[in-house]
Amino acid sequence: MSTATPTDLFVKVQASKERLDAHVREMVEWHFNPETGCPFWLNWAQEAGWDPRKEVTSYADLDKFGNFQDDELRGGPVRRWVPKGLAHRPVYVFETGGSTGVPKSRVQMDDFRIDYENFSETLPDEHFPKGSDWLMLGPSGPRRLRLAVEHLAQHRGGIAFSVDLDPRWVIKLIKRGQIQEAELYKQHCIDQALTILRAHEVKCMFTTPKLLEALCEKINLEKAGIKGVFCGGTEMTPQFHRFAVEELLGPNIYFAPTYGNTLMGLATHKAPEPEDNWAIIYYPPVPRAVLEVVDFDDATKIVGYGETGRVRLTTLTKETFIPRFLERDECEREAPCDQYPWDGVRNVRPFSRFQKSVVEGVY
Amino acid sequence: MLHLPILRYGKPYRSVDTATAVHYRTRQPFVEASQANAGLIRRDLARQHEAAAILQGFTTRELIAMAGKASGYFLNDTLPLGDSAQSPQEFVEAVSATTGLPWVMVRRNMAKIAGVLASMETVLMGLTRLPNLDMLDSGVGDIDGRALSFFPRGDSMGVILPSNSPGVHSLWAPAIALKTPLILKPGSSELWTPYRIIQAYVKAGVPAEVFGYYPTSHAGGGEILRGTGRGMLFGDVAAAKAWSGDPRIEIHGPGYSKIILADDGAAGWEKYLDLMVDSVSNNSGRSCVNCSSIWTTGDGRALAEALAERLARIKPTAEDDPNAAVAPLANPDVAKRISAMVDSELDGGAEDLCAKVRGSGRVAEWDGCTYLLPSVIHVPSKEHSLANREFGYPHVSVVQVEPHDLPECLGPTLVCTALTNDKRLHQRLLANPHIGRLNLGPISTMKISWDQPHEGNLFDHLYSRRAFQAVPELVG
């Protein structure tokens, strides 16, 4: 429960806004400086005919870019996204989507490490003990999550055990209506996880909602030694949140739901309070990424607190600049709180206007 | 607002996720139901065997007696409903509110369900064809000295229920007397009847732990069908197709029920008009046993015109009108879509004669509600796309065929009423594998005899016979 007064919170929110504006100026200077920016944004500025370094002085000014089109992230050459100022660094490329067609790519050097080190600060040590080993029961292959969770484990002094899991294959099976095959594949993943849990002393894990359910059908995680579960990757409803805490995990295992993706990083959840009625409230890692909730029909308009709209992401790191990207999600806008003095998002779910075309039920 | 919980083996559970069903006229939320997440269903299904063991502790006679008591409770008593209670009249009004069915039709369906519960012994005798139902308890017996044994195929039956009409619930209700726990997914707007049947059974002494009631999504319904030993699915063509390859699931899709008139029957069609009107329009045409096409070797046009004249008299009335004959659709858009679909196929000589008699289209607005009024489509040939269709309102196609076309031209037919004395045609109908229930003579397609199951035999669905031998001293 927050002990901050409204005045305290107001001051914190203002300080956060000022920090964000300063961060925006720093990032715009970096990405649009010919010495440090990436070819994509430098070319973009040349074609746009205006210099963001002169015209963008605050977060609000990023509206001048319009909405970022994620198709820009598909295909090569991926080096067009590598900032010149970081060109000497080893580059990772992570993909998102791609069950059919060309996936979206994001190049990274350290962002996944920084994001997950920051996230690590939000994990309670008694449930994610330092030095403990982890199970990464999530997507493998060209996914950021795979390396990010491994880094999280290493950052906390542990080792991460992983499984083979190709979510693109699962999506293909679901699209073909081969539900039984998808179930078998899921069991194949669960079998790998069970083998790890039985063979090693694992205390922490990452998994997705569906895999958590499937795993808990086979094993009592508390008896298996698990103390904390970090969960994400797909939609989580309030009912799932309750079900996970009350029935799948029980009172002795900490449940950390997260909202994230390759483009944003990781939004952490606010500790649940009874008045939340199991709503899952996430706060983005401001100033590295900002989440806003915009009107369904006018993406330049931020909706009021408690109102429903579409999630809009802005990513602002030295490695990646993505202004005003409309996510395929909707949610309610959540007010700042003491721990996170900036806007959050409540009960994120697939964008209802896309629902017929989105196959989520991946892992 | 009234809230209906999930019942997890009888124990109420209020979910954070809810869905509302609206009143058909006001379009305002009328009832809220807890929605079960798929994982919760899967978790509960891991305990099916416990529920099965509870029912195995009763004799069939005891369960039949409880069904008999439940019949009376279902029909006459105030029964629990969420945190409150519901009288029989409140039940009638609630079903009407969310499905649009007039009260008189709800009461008719109520009586049908109560009838099955009250006649459980007859129903089981019809389903099992056993001379002695005590064999259901021992699992072994003999008929005329021949050994017989059978065993349950699963620990429970999952049922995905529809919203169109409560009468279908009579099909799964005997499962309890067959010692099979039920995992029910109610229709999104017909939440009431399965809940009330459960409450009636519980009041009659059946342990609540043998009932699961899970309002849930399509995905949740899939978990029920995948996770239960035996299943029953009520759904449209697409839903039926999705599960058609799974022998564990008994599928109740569209019925395509028919009346055929040949020879003397075709010549004397006028005397069957009442039967045809009833078969087409009873229960507002919502049942799979409603006749959706009439096939005659006589004058199809004359028959269609006479039928259209009769069915065109059906008009919207108040929900409490004892003579109500047509129900509004809970969703007006659905009415318009169905009507547009019919219109789009009215070409090549097909004609809606009912609309012609009425002088108006089939979509009607009355007292703030949207109705689909009856249609009688005279089609020019058996190949026409409207010759053999079912739309869930009083709709019938009239097809004139040559005698040699019957019965092969009929295709899959849940109920076929044959109006002819042609014995050779009778034989061909009896040999036809596509007819689920055959009525020889003037019997409405709507008339159901519960010891004559149509569309699958619940006992055969839930139990399998095995070869059995034993030395006499071991079987007493």
Same domain, residue pair B218 and B273: no
| Cβ contact A239–B17 (<8 Å) | yes
> Tokens 């029912």 map to which residue?
B55
Q: Is A217 on the interface with B (CB under 8 A)?
A: yes
Same domain, residue pair B7 and B125: yes
What is the four-CA torsion angle of B376, B377, B379, B384, rounded to 10 degrees?
A: -130
Return the domain boundaries, chain A.
1-89+280-363, 110-257
| Cβ contact B37–A247 (<8 Å) | no
Q: Is A274 on the interface with B (CB under 8 A)?
A: no
Q: Are B366 and B360 in contact (CB under 8 A)?
A: no
Rounded distance between C-alpha atoms, residue B327 and residue A170, angstroms: 44
| Cβ contact A239–B219 (<8 Å) | no
The pLDDT of B398-416, averaged and rounded, is 93
* The amino acid at B42: R
Question: Phi, psi at residue B466, to the nearest 5°?
Answer: -130, 155
How distant is the Cα of B226 from the closest Cα of chain A, in angstroms? 9
Identify the CA nearest to B183 among candidates B47, B86, B68: B47
Q: What is the CATH number of the domain that holds B13?
A: 3.40.605.10
Q: Are B24 and B369 in contact (CB under 8 A)?
A: yes
Question: Least CA distance to A210: which residue of chain B?
Answer: B39
Residue B473 within any structural domain of the chain: no
The pLDDT of B82-91, averaged and rounded, is 97
Q: Is A353 on the interface with B (CB under 8 A)?
A: no
Question: Phi, psi at residue A269, to the nearest 5°?
Answer: -95, 150
Q: Which of A176, A190, A240 to mutate to test the interface with B (most CBs of B within 10 A)?
A: A240
Residue-wise pLDDT tens digits, B231-282? 999 988 888 888 888 999 998 888 999 999 999 999 999 999 999 999 999 9
| Cβ contact B42–A213 (<8 Å) | yes
| Cβ contact A240–B37 (<8 Å) | yes
Q: Are B32 and B3 in contact (CB under 8 A)?
A: yes
Residue B357 within any structural domain of the chain: yes
Q: Is B216 on the interface with A (CB under 8 A)?
A: no
Rounded distance between C-alpha atoms, residue B419 and residue B298, angstroms: 12
Q: Residue A111 corresponds to which tokens in the numbers above?
A: 């962002």
Helix ranges restricted to H, B405-476: 423-431, 458-462, 472-475
Question: Least CA distance to B35: which residue of chain A?
Answer: A239
Q: Residue B126 corresponds to which tokens in the numbers above?
A: 């019809």
Q: Which of A178, A243, A278, A355 to mutate to test the interface with B (most CBs of B within 10 A)?
A: A243
Q: Is B39 on the interface with A (CB under 8 A)?
A: yes
Same domain, residue pair B272 and B190: no
How distant is the Cα of A41 from the closest Cα of chain B, in angstroms? 43
Q: Which residues of A111-134 are buried (b: 16+ CB within 10 A; e: fewer)?
A: bbbbbbeebbebbeeebbbeebbb
Rounded distance between C-alpha atoms, residue A362 and residue A166, angstroms: 9
DSSP of B140-185: EEEETTEEEEEEES-S-EEEE--SS-GGGHHHHGGGTTTT--EEEE
Give, as one character, the DSSP assignment of residue B321: -
Q: Is A247 on the interface with B (CB under 8 A)?
A: yes
| Cβ contact A243–B39 (<8 Å) | yes
Same domain, residue pair B54 and B84: yes
Residue B285 within any structural domain of the chain: yes
In the predicted model, is pLDDT for residue B450 greater than 70? Answer: no
Maximum CA pair distance of chain A? 62
Helix ranges restricted to H, chain A: 6-31, 39-48, 52-55, 111-120, 144-155, 167-175, 179-199, 209-216, 238-243
How distant is the Cα of A249 from the closest Cα of chain B, in angstroms? 13
Residue B476 within any structural domain of the chain: no
Q: Residue A81 corresponds to which tokens in the numbers above?
A: 């996204």
Q: Which residues contact A152 (CB under 8 A, 6 or more apart)?
A: A116, A117, A119, A120, A134, A160, A206, A230
Q: Are B289 and B255 in contact (CB under 8 A)?
A: yes
CATH topology of domain A110-257: Rossmann fold (3.40.50)
3-state secondary structure at position B117 = helix
Contacts of A278 in chain B (CB under 8 A): 16
Q: Is A154 on the interface with B (CB under 8 A)?
A: no
Residue-wise pLDDT tens digits, B60-78? 999 999 999 999 999 999 9
Mean per-residue pLDDT over chain B, rounded: 93
Nearest to B39 among A238, A240, A361 (CB): A240
Identify the CA nearest to A257 among candidates A286, A287, A274, A237: A237
Question: Phi, psi at residue B343, to the nearest 5°?
Answer: -60, -40
pLDDT of residue A274: 86
Q: State percent of chain B over pLDDT 90.
A: 79
DSSP of A213-230: HHHHTT--TTTTT--EEE
Q: Which residues pair with B36 in a beta bridge?
A: B216
- Helix pair A179-199, A209-216: axis angle to 10 deg: 70
Residue B344 within any structural domain of the chain: yes
Rounded distance between C-alpha atoms, residue A133 and residue A205, angstroms: 8
Contacts of B242 in chain A (CB under 8 A): 177
Categorize the per-residue pLDDT at B466 as very low, low, confident or very high, splitting at 50, 70 and 90.
Answer: confident
Q: Is B19 on the interface with A (CB under 8 A)?
A: no
User: What is the sign of the dihedral through the CA atoms of A33, A39, A44 and A49?
Assistant: positive
Same domain, residue pair B164 and B182: yes
Rounded distance between C-alpha atoms, residue A110 and residue A323, angstroms: 20
Same domain, residue pair B207 and B261: no
Tell how strand B351-352 and strand B375-379 pair up.
antiparallel
pLDDT of residue A357: 43
Q: Which residues contact B8 (CB under 8 A, 6 or more apart)?
A: B40, B44, B212
Which of A165-179, B46-60, B180-194 is predicted with the least confidence, judged by mean pLDDT?
A165-179
Question: Least CA distance to B43: which residue of chain A?
Answer: A217
DSSP of B128-147: H--S-TTHHHHSEEEETTEE
Q: Is B16 on the interface with A (CB under 8 A)?
A: yes
Whole-angstrom Cα Rg for chain B: 23
Q: What is the CATH number of the domain that holds B271?
A: 3.40.309.10
Taking each continuous run of H as one helix and of E as one strand, the counts in chain A are 9, 14
Rounded distance between C-alpha atoms, residue B67 and residue B119, angstroms: 8
| Cα separations in angstroms, B198 against B36, B123, B193 | 18, 19, 9
| Cβ contact A238–B16 (<8 Å) | yes
Q: Is B42 on the interface with A (CB under 8 A)?
A: yes
Domain residues for the domain of B348 are 257-440
Rounded distance between C-alpha atoms, residue B141 and residue B129, angstroms: 13
Q: Which residues pair with A98 in a beta bridge?
A: none
Categorize the per-residue pLDDT at B470 as very low, low, confident or very high, splitting at 50, 70 and 90.
Answer: confident
Q: Are B405 and B300 in contact (CB under 8 A)?
A: no
Q: Is B227 on the interface with A (CB under 8 A)?
A: no
Residue B41 within any structural domain of the chain: yes
Question: Least CA distance to B222: which residue of chain A?
Answer: A179
How distant is the Cα of A250 from the closest Cα of chain B, in angstroms? 14
Q: Are B203 and B153 in contact (CB under 8 A)?
A: no
Same domain, residue pair B181 and B283: no
Rounded distance between C-alpha atoms, residue A70 and residue A53, angstroms: 23
Tell me whether residue B238 is exposed, middle or buried, using C-beta atoms within 10 angstroms of its C-beta: 0 to 12, 13 to 18, 19 or more: exposed
How distant is the Cα of B91 from the closest Cα of chain A, in angstroms? 29
Question: Phi, psi at residue A159, to the nearest 5°?
Answer: -120, 140
Contacts of A221 in chain B (CB under 8 A): none
Residue B174 within any structural domain of the chain: yes
Residue-wise pLDDT tens digits, B135-149? 899 888 888 888 888
The pLDDT of B167-175, averaged and rounded, is 92
Maximum CA pair distance of chain B? 78
Whether the ipTM is more than 0.85: the answer is no
Identify the CA nearest to B242 among candidates B265, B221, B268: B221
Q: Is A246 on the interface with B (CB under 8 A)?
A: no
Rounded distance between C-alpha atoms, residue B461 and residue B391, angstroms: 28
Rounded distance between C-alpha atoms, residue B410 and residue B291, angstroms: 13
| Cα separations in angstroms, A134 against A7, A186, A197, A225 | 41, 20, 10, 11
pLDDT of residue B199: 98
Same domain, residue pair B50 and B114: yes
Tell how strand A321-334 and strand A308-316 pair up.
antiparallel
Angle at A102 between CA A101 and CA A103, to 5 degrees: 115
Q: Is A238 on the interface with B (CB under 8 A)?
A: yes
Q: Is B467 on the interface with A (CB under 8 A)?
A: no
Q: Which of B37, B41, B225, B248 to mutate to test the interface with A (most CBs of A within 10 A)?
A: B37
pLDDT of residue A361: 39
Q: Residue A320 corresponds to which tokens in the numbers above?
A: 């990646």
Question: Phi, psi at residue B463, to the nearest 5°?
Answer: -125, 155
Identify the CA nearest to B14 among candidates B188, B213, B208, B162: B213
Question: Least CA distance to A242: which residue of chain B?
Answer: B16
Nearest to B37 among A216, A239, A361 (CB): A239
Same domain, residue pair B267 and B238: no
Q: Which residues of A50-68 are buried (b: 16+ CB within 10 A; e: fewer)?
A: eebbeebeebebbeebeeb
How distant is the Cα of A243 from the closest Cα of chain B, in angstroms? 7
How many distinct structural domains can be found in chain B? Answer: 2
pLDDT of residue A362: 41
HSE-CB of A258 using CA atoms within 13 angstroms: 27
Contacts of B17 in chain A (CB under 8 A): 237-239
Q: Is A240 on the interface with B (CB under 8 A)?
A: yes
Q: Is B435 left (phi over 0), alpha (psi -120 to 50) or beta?
A: beta
Same domain, residue pair B9 and B103: yes
Identify the CA nearest to B171 among candidates B437, B457, B392, B412: B457
Same domain, residue pair B182 and B224: yes
Per-residue pLDDT of chain A (363 residues; tens, 9 = 90+): 455 687 889 999 999 999 999 999 999 999 999 999 999 999 999 999 999 999 999 999 999 999 999 899 999 899 999 999 999 999 999 998 776 788 999 999 999 999 999 999 999 999 999 999 999 999 998 989 999 999 999 999 999 999 999 999 999 998 888 888 999 999 999 999 999 999 999 999 999 999 999 999 999 999 999 999 999 988 899 999 999 999 999 999 999 999 888 888 889 998 888 889 999 999 999 999 999 999 999 999 999 999 999 999 999 999 999 999 999 899 999 999 999 999 999 999 988 876 554 444 344
Helix (H), strand (E), coil (C) string for A48-68: HCCCHHHHCCCCHHHHHHCCE
Q: Is B238 on the interface with A (CB under 8 A)?
A: no
Rounded distance between C-alpha atoms, residue A281 and residue A205, angstroms: 21
Rounded distance between C-alpha atoms, residue B236 and residue B262, angstroms: 31
Angle at B333 between CA B328 and CA B335, to 5 degrees: 45
Residue B449 within any structural domain of the chain: no
Contacts of B15 in chain A (CB under 8 A): 239
